[in-house]
Amino acid sequence: MKKGDKLAVKDGYAVCPVCRHKTSQAIRPDTVADNLQLWCRNCKAIHLVKIDRGQCSMISRCR
Ligand SMILES: [Zn+2]
């Protein structure tokens, strides 16, 4: 994954860009966030993401 890549959203939750596991971060169709820290339990890493109305994109991996 690199900056600007789109993240998948599954069943209303963001999917980890690295391991593709569903995270506990809920994404609504109208969610807007910048530099959101997306924590993945599976790879125990935080990913910085940007969410623009349900479109989630990767900023960087910050661990
Ligand atoms: Zn992960």
Interval between CA 17 and ligand 1 midpoint (Å) = 7
User: Distance from the CA of 22 to the center of ligand 1, in angstroms?
Assistant: 8
The answer to whether 47 and 18 are in contact (CB under 8 A) is yes
Amino acid 13: pLDDT: 92
Q: Containing H/E element for 38?
A: strand 32-40
Q: What is the mean pLDDT of the chain?
A: 83
> If we measure between CA atoms, which residue out of 61, 57, 59 comes closest to residue 15?
57
Q: Would the pLDDT of 11 be above 60?
A: yes
Q: Is the pTM of this model over 0.85?
A: no
